[in-house]
Structure 1
Amino acid sequence: MIESNRRGFLAGAATLGVATAGAMAAGPAAATAAAAPARGDVITPDDPRYGSLTTGNNQRFAARPDYIKMIRSTADAVAAVQAAVDAGRRISVRSGGHCFSDFVCNSEVEAILDLSELVGVGYDPGLRAFYVEPGARLMNVYEQLYKGWGVTIPGGICYSVGAGGHIAGGGYGLLSRAHGLVVDHLYAVEVVVVDRAGRARAVRATREADDPNRDLWWAHSGGGGGNFGVVTRYWFRSPGATGGKPSDQLIAAPSDVLVSAVEFPWDQLDEGSFVRLVHNFGQWHAAHSSPDSPYVALSSLFNVSHRAHGSLGMFTQVDAGVPGAADLLDSYLAAITAGVDVTPRPAVRPMGELPALPGLAQPRRLPWIQATRLVGTNNPTITNPTSRGVHKSAYMRRNFTDAQIRTLHKHMTGDDFHNPDTMLVLFSFGGKVNDVAADATANAQRDSIFKMCFQTFWADAEDDDIHVGWARGIYEDVFASTGGVPAPGDSYDGCYINYPDNDVADPAHNRSGVAWPLLYYRGNYPRLQRVKRRWDPRDTFRHALSIRP
């Protein structure tokens, strides 16, 4: 059926979009026929929507493609890929538009395939799994899974991230210490691929051991977006799920959670107390990141903001249903401030990844779905669609050294930089994430204790050099002992592909001698290359940090 629709689409149109336009001109009956399967618009430079669709969430990166093709079905995606391949156009793929780098929007792309209208979420009884389409935003995924069946996936906090790229890169969030990565629950994927002859087709791959396409499923369990084809659907079923009810197939969302949000004022911190505070965060995670830790139900996000912001901020959540949840939260908060002469106060301002949360200075019990909305849907910094940004990541296997924390303090308090929307985000990791073998999924980082993202946001292109330079400076200084990047070893485990940074492929900034693919994929890279050669032998799907065939 897909193949038939593809041929009909191409035969009936000299260029993309003509078939649909002709059907509309012929009248309602023809338009209805053309709408099955659904086909999205083709947006060209003369369309008033074009300018807003040539960039994503990061305004540093823009494209001038021949067109943006909106995708509304798998058949639509097959036809769109085939048309671009036949015309020799360079393709890029977008689900939600949150890519931190230029993978989608760059000067070489000639056709953007935009899947943001593919937003379905539901249950597939045939596969005994929940499906999520790539354009669905994370908050909508959580809402629909929870309201329909009381289940969820352990994804990120930002409400507007598109599921497509989030899942392909691994996906993690506040529930990951308790339930692992998003891809640890990935059962199947549907992908539009292009063979050596240039023929586009849709392929379904599952994690079943006897599935001849299993390697394609594996590549999408952390291998990054834009590498192998166009994902049109994901399915989720937790490993070991039994029974016939939909609610038995995926992890149950917490009913209630205990949440805390506090600020640590910069005017109460000197270098020594800053070092102790950040050290305490790392030390706690070093002690409590095993899969059997009693603290796996607790996760925390610590925004080490620039002094220009006025304070550092921390949000912590623990499943209220676990035994002794209140004591777990209290002991964690006490451990973070131990030996630090600082008085936590209400979080009255947005804090990097987090909104203002003034009512949570004392831990509060909230329904999980309410807490998820609260922390994820009201952030004016990370979700600002007009801003420019730079992002650099690292997985930590050991705590910071005191020298590294003093380096952080120097860059966060320097008199030559004054952007309040600048922070190092430290995010709890480990727990059940570390209970999976490094080669079981494409996401290889399975023994870290916390992960981090250096980031800063600004408005004007004329300030790019200042902000990019600041981010490069702090990152390369913190990891100076390993060549300016978190080279895998005893202390670090590389970088997160969903926080891509083109600098790691530049010897001027990566002086470690470790090739960039090993930073992102560790020992899984050769296998990813084999998958690439099988499923994308023409290298149709590529970008600055794509898998090299």
Structure 2
Amino acid sequence: MTRVPYRPTTTIWPEDRRYPALSRGFNQRWIAEPDYVRLVRTPEEARAALAEAVRDDPRGHRRRVTVRSGGHCYENFVCGDDVRVILDISPMCGISYDEDMDAFCVEAGATNWHAYSHLYPLSGRALPGGSCYSVGLGGHIPGGGFGLLSRRDGLTIDYLYAVEVAVVRDDRTVELVVARRDDSDPARAELLWAHTGGGGGNFGLITRFWFRDLPEPPSQVMLAGLAWDWSDFTKDDFARLVTAFGEYFRDHQDPATAAGGLFAMLKLTHRANGQIGLLAQVDADDEQGPRAMSDFVAALDGRIGPAARALTSPMGEHPPVPHLDVPRVMPWLTATQALNGSGENRCGKYKSAYLRGPFTGPQIDAMWAYLGNEHFTDYQNKQALIQVDSYGSAVNSPPYDTAVRQRDSILKMQYQVYWTRHDPDEAEHLDWIRRTYRATFAGTHGVPVVGGQTDGCYVNYPDVDLNDPRWNGSDQDWPTLYYKDAYPRLRRVKRYWDPLNVFRHRQSVKPADF
């Protein structure tokens, strides 16, 4: 075998055996055919690689240059068929304390699991990020990433002090810019603000984040995984369950209490799955934590006829947890690892919604019908579900102004459907999620409009159907649904820092006057 010499900067060309793996992401719907993939290890390598990619296309009219950290983009924004170059920053995944910044530095190629397994053991601190271990922080953070600690500690961006970004200037030169929250330069301060919810890949290539005053997670948490058999459910049972879930989190919005920090995910699977699931976590260091967990379970389980049992079916991005039918106390990091899954690398489609109040009757009726009880009864996909996450509490008390504008919601929904590549029923899977979502929000023309009981959509769960009048019949476009009143300000930041619109896709922020 011929030995290949090691080279510091790695460029993967189409003939390289690594090319098929590195020209796609987590979602197997999207496979790119770029001219090359370049892996970078340092901010300066990232700057130079971006400069070369821009220089190779002086007019900017050829296909796009995209950036990948964890590869979890739900749409074809990173791995689309119009991509010319993928800049892969995953090798840039260091975590350290920066004395000059007086802040923890996290490189943008790091994942949620890097943040948990590296940052916490060294510092005792944690980012309140997501439960899917392989999600890259380069996308998760600027979109306003959240997780099981967020009702207790807020969003990841609530602790963001500074960001380093490789930006492309008017003359096509590329420079590294460090923007701080308290920056003396107003333009740089605005660049930092744009990364507190303006979405990843909109303004430049992010290389590093700095965080101050990160929270200490609990030493121990109580974790529960319960399920109910679909065969035992009546429509009234279903209505009582989802109503109780919404009312509990409406009524427990004080992060200073154990109940206010309790986080839960209700997994309303399609009937074909066999079970409806529930995952919940609470701070066990708080002496009221165990009582909060038992009260929460009783609030749900006590209203319905079906008996709770072990969660034995995979549901979306989480595996079975049959050992958690009796809530268990364990170290926080151990619990995080127990739930840390991203599911298989498969094809998927996703949609989202923020809810400011419990479910309405028509919403409940629609979900019941489209989960295989009245519609799609012959549809047998076990991995079709509506996941309802608890939200709010500390999230709704931001420490400073951010680009995340949904700050008074109590629930966040994620519609999910999965299938394998080349599945002949792909069109049916897409039809299920589109029609289910539209039916749930039929009262607001098919989408969770901003204002009233709903409050738009989550930019980290992108959905290009929001651009399509067949599925969005409201008078609110996708920028309004994602960004609300922040969009004009984001457009001004985009015009200043990415004037050539190098970083673009079907739902990228458009420069002002562009």
| Pair in the same fold by TM > 0.5 | yes
1:458 aligns with 2:433: no
Alignment of 1:206-285 (within 5 A): 206-208=180-182, 210-212=184-186, 213-238=188-213, 250-285=214-249
2:384 paired with 1:410: no
Correspondent of 1:383 among 321, 343, 347: 343
Contact 1:280 1:338 in 2 (8 A): no
State which of 325, 330, 333 in structure 2 corresponds to 1:369: 333
Deviation at residue 294 of structure 1 after TM alignment? 5.1
Aligned match of 1:73: 42
1:133 pairs, out of 89, 107, 130, with 107
Match of 1:441 among 402, 406, 411: 402
Q: CA deviation at 1:323?
A: 3.2
Q: Specify the code of the residue in structure 1 equivalent to 2:140.
A: H
Task: Specify the SS of the correspondent of 1:295.
Answer: helix
State the distance in 2 between where 1:267 and 1:488 align: 36
| 1:85-122 CA-partner distances (Å, limit 9, x unpaired) | 11115201110011111110112110011111111011
Runs of 5+ in structure 2 lacking a partner?
A: none
Alpha carbons 1:291, 1:434 under 8 Å: kept: no
TM-aligned CA deviation for residue 350 of structure 1:
2.1
Q: CA deviation at 1:351?
A: 2.4
Quick one: distance in 2 between partners of 1:256 and 1:460? Answer: 40
Distance of 1:371 and 1:428 partners within structure 2:
18
1:257 deviates by 0.3
Counterpart for residue 428 of structure 1: 390
Secondary structure of 1:541's counterpart equals: coil
Q: Is the 8 A contact 2:267 2:278 kept in 1?
A: yes
Hey, what's the Cα distance between the residues in 1 that align with 2:421 and 2:298? 41
CA distance 1:289–1:126, change in 2 (3 Å) = same
The answer on whether the counterparts of 2:179 and 2:191 sit within 8 Å (CA) in structure 1 is yes
Q: Gaps (5+ residues) in structure 1?
A: 1-23, 26-30, 239-249
How far residue 65 of structure 1 moved from its aligned partner, in angstroms, is 0.9
Q: Secondary structure at the residue paired with 1:371? A: helix
Alignment partner, residue 29 of structure 2: 60
Q: Which amino acid aligns with 2:438?
A: E
1:404 and 1:293 map into 2 onto residues whose CA distance is 30
Q: Does 1:323 align with 2:287?
A: yes
- The answer on whether the counterparts of 2:396 and 2:408 sit within 8 Å (CA) in structure 1 is yes
% identity of equivalent residues:
43
Which deviates more, 280-289 or 148-157?
280-289
Could you say which residue in structure 1 is the equivalent of 2:442? 480
CA distance in 2, matches of 1:383, 1:480: 30
Give the aligned partner of residue 465 of structure 2: 503
| Corresponding position of 1:184 | 158
Q: In the alignment, what sits opposite 1:396? A: 355
Return the letter of the residue paired with 1:426.
V
Q: How big is each residue's C-alpha offset from its partner over 1:220-244, in whole Å with a ceiling of 9 and x where there is no partner? A: 1111011000001111113xxxxxx
Q: Which residue identity lines up with residue 121 of structure 1 in the other structure?
A: I
Indicate conservation of the 8 Å contact 2:108/2:137, yes or no: yes
Contact between 2:39 and 2:91, CA under 8 Å: does it hold in 1?
Answer: yes
Q: Please state how far the C-alpha of 1:289 moved relative to its aligned partner.
A: 2.6
Q: Following TM superposition, by how much is the alpha carbon of 1:416 offset from its aligned partner in structure 2, in angstroms?
A: 2.7
Cα displacement (A) at 1:460: 3.2
Instruction: Tell me the distance in 1 between the aligned counterparts of 2:283 and 2:255.
Output: 16
Q: Helix, strand or coil for the counterpart of 2:198?
A: coil
How far 1:296 sits from its partner (Å)?
2.1
| Counterpart position of 2:179 | 205
**Equivalent residues of 2:97, 2:103 under 8 A apart:** yes
Aligned residues: 498
CA distance, structure 1, for counterparts of residue 254 and residue 168 of structure 2: 42
Letter in 2 for 1:72: R
> How far did residue 288 of structure 1 move?
1.5
Letter in 1 for 2:30: F
Q: Residue 162 of structure 2 aligns to which amino acid in structure 1?
A: A
TM-score, normalized by length of structure 2?
0.94
In the alignment, structure 1 residue 489 sits paired with structure 2 residue 451: yes
Please tell me the residue identity of whatever aligns with 1:444: R
Q: Secondary structure at the match of 2:453?
A: coil
Q: Which residue of 2 aligns with 1:14?
A: none
Equivalent of 1:104 in 72, 78, 90 = 78
TM-aligned CA deviation for residue 534 of structure 1: 0.6
The aligned amino acid for 2:208 is R
Instruction: Confirm whether residue 121 of structure 1 aligns to residue 82 of structure 2.
Output: no
User: Which residue among 277, 296, 301 is the counterpart of 1:313?
Assistant: 277
- Which of 476, 488, 491 aligns to 1:529? It is 491
**Structure 1 residue 290: deviation in Å?**
4.7
Which residue number corresponds to residue 122 of structure 2? 148
Q: Is the 8 A contact 1:226 1:543 kept in 2?
A: no
AA aligned to 2:203 is: F
Q: Deviations over 1:387-408 (max 9, x none)?
A: 1000000000111112211211
- CA drift of 1:53 comes to 1.4
SS in 2 for 1:296: helix
| Structure 1 residue 194: Cα displacement | 0.4
Q: Counterpart in 2 of 1:247? A: none
SS in structure 1 opposite 2:425?
Answer: helix
Give secondary structure in 1 for the equivalent of 2:439: helix
Amino acid at match of 1:544: R
Aligned-partner Cα distance in 2 for 1:304–1:527: 37
What corresponds to 1:5 in structure 2? none
In structure 2, the residue corresponding to 1:419 is in which secondary structure? coil
